Each structure stands twice: as structure tokens, then as C-alpha cells.
A and B are shown apart, each in its own frame.
Chain A
Amino acid sequence: MSQPIIELKNVSLNYNDVRVLHNVDMEIEQGKFYTLLGPSGSGKSTILSLISGRLFPTEGDVFIDGKNVSNLPANKRQVNTVFQNYNLFPNMNVYENVAYGPNLKKLPKARVDELVKQMLSLVRLDEFIDREISELSGGQQQRVAIARALANEPKVLLLDEPLSALDYKLRKEMQYELREIQQRLGITFIFVTHDQEEALAMSDWIFVMQDGRIEQNGTPVDIYDEPINHFVADFIGEANIVDGVMKEDYLVNFAGKDFKNVDAGMRPNERVEVVIRPEDLDIVAPAKGKLQVTIDDQSFRGDFYEITAIDDYGNEWAVQETNPAKIGQRRGLNFDPEDIHIMRLAETEEEFDARIESYED
């Protein structure tokens, strides 16, 4: 692996004597789309501020391009930020906003013009070059903010919940566009969001955060399929989480029965949590199901029905089905061994990775 473009080494941050970030280690490689995902107050924006130079670590170091920048002010760092509420300069028009960074670098006028036009065409706002900021809609302002940050030709673009103020449809559109811009320019994006759907759709790599700690990092598929703990499983997508016992390798007991599964590396009879995603469950005839349940509730979600069923041990199961069910009916639930994911209680990310590696391949 080549040298990471950004590296956080054991970074902690205190804010008014309260520790808001705990020993964060992070490596960001060139040219990928990263997402910091977590609920509000989890420290994701704080990490962005530490990278951009708005905040400085209490402990640990931040490296950009191998250089320790822990004490370097924001204006001396080769990263730029797209802010949540855009922060466009109201005293300048679109051109002047986008040209702000290039002009500060004292680039020749022709080059500045070229950069501004290039960036505005990238965000499809060529026509708006002479407009005042107050004349733009929220979505257009967001695009100008992206163009302004990119016009500085940063090595890394930081995006601090840039889409949260847009409506659903526009947000979807911008997700697609941002991803495309990132791939076209080939620079690193670090995207902050609390929207797990957004994170899964856009990212090459996700850092899931909670309470100032990174809970898990990995590709969207890894994090979705193999969440490390209750928090991650619950936060990313919908999950059925029930208590179980890992009797031996590849055999787990929950809801009163033994099931074959694909996890290993635990102590015999270790207490664990079992995760099965709602879309992995199928409703079948009672005799054909691995579990017998009673349909408790259902709601129509447009492209599927969200059905709640209760098994004989009182566990609730959320199921996503294209066909409706009858409330109160006895049905069976079916799933494959691969659909069962086991989480150990209080396992760290290193232990988790090591265990997975020990029996996979």
C-alpha cells in the first residue's frame, strides 16, 4: 500500500475538558470516497475539523501527505471543505465565490477564469456565473459551494453533511453527482453524514462512529453484512438482533433451536448476539420454516411490505416481503446459514478482524 494521503494517529480531542474524540486512528488513501457515518454528536464532524485545521488535536497527530500538520492553521492546508450550510460569501457573486481560492493563490487571471468555468461546468452551473448568491436556490448554492472548494484544486475534499439541507429527490440526485465528480477528478473525498443509506450508496469505505470512537470501518458491503456490534448492526440498515449461544464453530443456538451458520472462532457456549437482516428472511408455510412465528403487524412501504412476526420465545422479527401477510396467522420463517451473522459482546475491531481472518480462506 502506498503512503496514505491523510493519517490520524491516536488522535484525541478535549472540548471544554470533555473528551469528544477518543484515540482515533485513521488512514485515508488517495482517490477514494470515504464516509464518516454516525449519529449527531458522534464526532464525525470533529474529525473533519481536525483534518481541515479548524480544530487542533489535544493528543496525537494529523498527517497530510506524510507531513505532520497537527499545528498548521486551516489556510495552510491543502484540503478544502464543503460546509453544511454552504457558507457562500453573500457580498460576492458566483464567479467571485468560486474564484476566491484561486485569486488568493495569485494565479494569472486567465487561469482563474479557466478554473472557474471548468468547476462551474462540472457542477452544471455554467449559466449562473454572473448570478448573485441570493438569486440561487438551495441546491444551486450547494453546487457553487462544491465548485468553490474544488477550484482550489485540493488533494482532499471534505464534505460536512453537504446534502442534509436538500429535499429527498435533490439529495438523491446530488449523491449520484458527487460520486461521479469524485470519480472524474480522482481526488479523495471525505464525506460526513448521519444517513446510512447515503453512506452505503456513495462510499468506497465507511467509518462508523459513535461517542467519539470509530466503531468499525470497512467497505459498505462488509459493514452491512458483518457488523461488529449491536450499535453498528442497528445503525446500518434494519436488523433483527436476538440473543444466542455459539455452541461450537458453525453452530449457533437461538430462539430455542440450533442452526448451522458460517461463523467461528468463539469459545464453546459463548453468549453472542445474532443478526439477521429483514430482507434475508422469507415467509413460508409453517412446516417449511426454520422458525415458527405469528404475524403481528404489517405496513406497506411502497416497494415492499414490512412485516413484524413474533416467534414462540417472544423474539420480534422484522421481515421484508413483496407479498402481504395476514395478521394473526401462523407462518414459518426461512433463512440460509450465510444470512446468520454472529456478533460477540464487546469485541474490538482488531479482534474482530483477526478472528474473521483466522477462519476465512
Chain B
Amino acid sequence: MSAKKLFYTIPYAVWLALFVIVPLILLVFQALTNQSGHFTFDNFAAYLSSGTYLRMTINSVLYAFLITAITLLISYPTAYFLTQLKHHSFWILIIILPTWINLLLKAYAFIGLLSKDGTVNSFIQLLGAAPQQLLFTNASFILVSSYIEIPFMILPIYNALTEIDPNLIQASRDLGANSWTTLKKVIFPLSLSGVKTGIQAVFIPSLSLFMITRLIGGNRVITLGTAIEEHFLSTQNWHMGSTIGVVLVLAMFITMYLTRDNKKKGGRR
């Protein structure tokens, strides 16, 4: 690359260094030192030997998995349906629109809907049933998280689906496949890259959700995100917080690896 081209990368390189690389180094440094600043693996030992942290990790992975699975189940058929519509770019815009609204606002809106004297309970009472505890439950946490993540799943799947050559579907029909077999053998495999991108976009952020765990889950759901927040803001144990942060970064890399685009090479059958 010429020096001139390199010149244009300076603003972002500076940005990257200041807000990504330096923080990452600091994070790893904090995780590998104790309160008195000595190098140690104690934080990781504490993380691995503590039942609480491991339970939190399993919890986080489990919830993130559930949220991802639910969004995928809703998003794939939706994305597929959208591609069949006449004005699909308009409808996809409608779906993206909510992502422009602040997350906190949406969370508060759900509190209004789900609280003891919220809209949903008023409706339940209207039907003559007793009001239910909806807020601060696992179910409400998963519901709201999925709601927030759905557009990030629909968009990549939709993009992958629109890139499929419609002639391939004709070819499949011509060779004797019905619509279901065509979906299973041609359309789905060809949209897999979009599904993987969607999983990355939903699973990784879901691992570290903490605001929704507080506002909607009411601290009944404790995930790694909640733990990090707790360590940095309440217990002031930045070293332990950083350790969990490093664990999350590792989890992110593992997810990226598992959902990578493995281009097939020849010789397989």
C-alpha cells in the first residue's frame, strides 16, 4: 500500500488504538494483577474454582443460547417471508426502525407493559383473572432480550436470502423437488452465511447483557454482564471484573470460530 493510502487510515488507526487496543491491554493487565499490582493468575484461579462464577457463566451461555434460538426461530421464517413480498425493502426498513430507538427507552416501555399495574395485567384483569407477576421473571428477560435482538438476526438472513439466484429455485423445481425440499436443500444451505452472521450478532451481545437483566430480569437473572458491572461499580474489584471481561472476550472468539464461514474445498464427498 502506498504512503498516501496509509495516510487516510490514520484517523481510524488512532481511534482503534485509543479505544480498542489500549483498553484491551489494560483489561488483560488488570486481569493478571492483584490489588497491590503484582503479576498473578489468582484471579483466573478464583474464577475457575468458584462455583458462583461458573454457574453465572453457564447461566449466561444458556440464556444467550435461548435468546439466540428464539430470535432465529422467529427471524428465519420472517426473513424468508419478507423476500417473497413485493416491496420488501420497505418492510425491512420497518423492521430495522426500532433499532434506532434507544435501548433504555425500550426497556422502560416494557416495564410499563409488564409491571403489576401495567397494560398486560390490566388486560388480564379485564378478562377476570388475577394479575400475574410478569416483570422480574426469566421469561420476561428472554422475551425482552429477544425482542431487542430480532432485527439483528433478520437483517443478515434477509440479505443472504435476497442474494440467492432465483433461477436456482427454478432448477430445483425442474429436477423434481417440491417447495419444502427446495427450501431444505437449496435455499437454507445457501442462506447459512446469513444465519451465522445473525448468530454472531445476537449470541455475543446476549452473553453480556446487564441492563435488561437489571430492569426486566430484576436481578433474578445473573449473567457475566451483571457480574462485571457489579465488580466495577459496587465491589470496586476491577481485577476480578477484568478477568470476567477476558473470559467474555474469549467466549466471543470461540463463537466467531464456531460460526466462521468455512469455504468448502474439493475432495469431499
A residues neighboring B (CB under 8 Å): 52-54, 73-76, 80-81, 83, 85, 87-91, 93, 95, 100-101, 104-105, 129-132, 135, 148-149, 152
Asked if B267 lies at the interface with its beta carbon under 8 angstroms from chain A, I say yes
With a CB–CB cut-off of 8 A, which chain A residues contact B165? 87
- Interface stretch among B51-59, B174-182, B212-220? B174-182
Is B37 positioned at the interface, with any CB of A under 8 Å from its CB?
no
Q: Report Cα–Cα, A225/B260, bound state, in Å.
A: 63
- CB pair A101–B175 under 8 Å, yes or no, is yes
CA A281 – CA B184 in complex, angstroms? 62
* Interface: B266 (CB within 8 A): yes
Measured between beta carbons, the chain B residues less than 8 angstroms from A54 are: 170, 173-174
In the complex, chain A residues whose CB is within 8 Å of the CB of B73:
none
| Contact indicator A148/B190 (Cβ below 8 Å) | no
Residues of B within 8 A of A85 (CB): 167
Give the complex CA separation of A235 and B201 in angstroms. 58
Q: Mark B160-202, 1 if CB is under 8 A from A, else 0.
A: 0000010110111111111001000110011000000000000
Question: Chain B 19-36, CB within 8 Å of chain A: the 1/0 string?
Answer: 000000000000000000
Decide: B266 and A91 in contact? CB cutoff 8 A: no
Considering the complex, give the chain B residue whose CB is closest to the CB of A80.
B174
List, in ascending order, chain B residues with CB within 8 A of A104's CB: 175-177, 181
Chain A residue contacts of B176, Cβ below 8 A? 75-76, 101, 104-105, 152
B269: CB under 8 A from chain A? yes
Of A73, A89, A130, A148, the most chain B CB neighbours within 10 A belong to: A89
A132 touches B167 (CB 8 A): no
A91–B167 alpha-carbon span in the complex (Å): 14
**Residues in B whose Cβ lies below 8 Å from that of A95:** 269
Interface CB pairs A-B, < 8 A, 18: A75-B173, A75-B178, A81-B171, A81-B174, A83-B167, A83-B171, A87-B165, A90-B190, A91-B186, A100-B172, A100-B175, A100-B185, A104-B175, A104-B181, A130-B269, A131-B266, A132-B264, A149-B175
Minimum CB–CB distance from B65 to chain A (whole Å) comes to: 26
Q: Which chain B residue lies CB-closest to A132? A: B266
A73 and B180 alpha carbons, distance in the complex (Å): 14
Q: How far is the CA of A131 from the CA of B269 in the complex (A)?
A: 9
A81–B167 Cα distance when bound, in Å, is 12
Q: How far is the CA of A200 from the CA of B252 in the complex (A)?
A: 63
Asked if B86 lies at the interface with its beta carbon under 8 angstroms from chain A, I say no
Is there an interface contact between A89 and B171, defined as CB atoms closer than 8 Å?
A: yes
Q: A residues within 8 A CB of B174? A: 52-54, 74-75, 80-81, 149
| Residue in contact with A148 in the complex, picked from B175, B181, B189, B267, CB distance below 8 Å | B175
In the complex, which residue of chain A has the Cβ closest to the Cβ of B179?
A: A75
Q: Shortest beta-carbon distance, B229 to chain A, in Å?
A: 43
Report chain B residues within 8 Å CB of A88: 171
A104 to B173, CA, bound (A): 11
Task: State how many angstroms separate the Cβ of B28 from the closest Cβ of chain A.
Answer: 40
B residues 211-269 touching A (CB-CB < 8 Å)? 264-269
* CA–CA, A101 and B186, complex, Å: 13
Residues of A within 8 A of B268 (CB): 93, 130
| Assembled-state Cα–Cα distance A110/B154 (Å) | 41
- List of 5 A-B pairs having minimum Cβ-Cβ separation, nearest first: A87-B171, A101-B175, A91-B189, A74-B173, A87-B167
Least distance between B6 CB and chain A CB atoms (Å): 33
| Docked CA distance A132–B167 (Å) | 19
**Cα of A129 to Cα of B268 in the assembled complex, Å:** 10
B269's contact among A80, A89, A93, A152, by CB below 8 Å, is which? A93
Cα of A130 to Cα of B264 in the assembled complex, Å: 12
Q: A52-B174, A148-B175 are in contact. Are A89 and B266 (CB under 8 A)?
A: no
Q: Which of A73, A75, A89, A152 makes the CB contact (< 8 A) with B168?
A: A89
Rounded to whole angstroms, the CA-CA distance of A174 and B252 in the bound complex is 52
Alpha-carbon distance between A83 and B265 when the two chains are bound, in angstroms:
25
Q: Are A89 and B170 in contact (CB under 8 A)?
A: no
Measured between beta carbons, the chain A residues less than 8 angstroms from B167 are: 83, 85, 87
With contacts A89-B168, A91-B189, A104-B181 taken as known, whether A73 is within 8 angstroms of B267 at the C-beta atoms is no
State A339–B264 Cα separation when bound (angstroms): 61
Nearest chain B CB to A191 CB, angstrom units? 16
A164 to chain B, nearest CB (A): 15
Q: Which of A76, A87, A131 contacts B170 (CB 8 A)?
A: A87
Are A89 and B186 within 8 A (Cβ)?
yes
CA distance A85 to B268 in the complex (A): 25
Given A85-B167, A87-B168, A104-B181, residue A93 in contact with residue B266 (CB < 8 A) = yes
Given contacts A74-B173, A89-B172, A101-B175, 15 further A-B pairs with CB under 8 A are A53-B174, A54-B173, A75-B174, A76-B176, A80-B175, A87-B171, A89-B168, A89-B190, A91-B190, A93-B269, A95-B269, A104-B181, A148-B175, A149-B174, A152-B176
